[in-house]
Amino acid sequence: MREHLAYLGLTAAAQHLSTALDRAQAEQLSVTHVLEALLEIEVRETKARRQRGRLRFARYPVYKTLAQFDFDFQPALDRQVVAELSTLRFIEERRNVLLLGPPGVGKTHLSIALGWRLPKPATAPTSLPRPTWSRVSRPPTMKDRTVQAADVPESVGVDD
């Protein structure tokens, strides 16, 4: 059974198969319960793997969190505004956020920290897909525009 799971790409389920079967036998669990537990493990691992891939694709230069930000160094910064930004409500509301200020005040730190919190991390501008129009001398059709729009990420981080 382990080989079948591995062949189907269910590697996390394959790794936990013997443990799940031993537990099922010891606790007299149903087959449905065992399958549900294995699938839950697989789904959790798949989500984590996708998140790691998205973070790698975002190409953040360093790992920064909001907890690491030194608010004492920047007393003019409103902590409540940062707390509100950390909820990521602006993403759901499709609003833009601009962090403005002179060099060295923490704009990059805050933008990276917010990016790490995103379920789908912000994409670096260089990662945006380039329009691919054919050499045919016709304007792009609505279908062409739809495909291009679907390729654009939900959030884009830009830093100077």
Task: Report pLDDT digits (tens) over 64-83.
Answer: 888 999 989 888 888 999 99
Mean of per-residue pLDDT scores for the chain: 78
Place of tokens 């059709």: 141
The predicted pLDDT at position 39 comes to 94
Buried b (16+ CB within 10 A) or exposed e, 67-103: eebeeeebeebeeeebeebeeeeebeeeeeeeeeeee
Half-sphere exposure of 66 (CA within 13 A, CB side): 17
Give the confidence band of 42 by pLDDT, cuts at 50, 70, 90: very high
Give the confidence band of 116 by pLDDT, cuts at 50, 70, 90: confident
Model's pTM, two decimal places? 0.53
CA torsion angle for 27, 28, 33, 34 (degrees, to 10)? 80
The predicted pLDDT at position 54 comes to 78
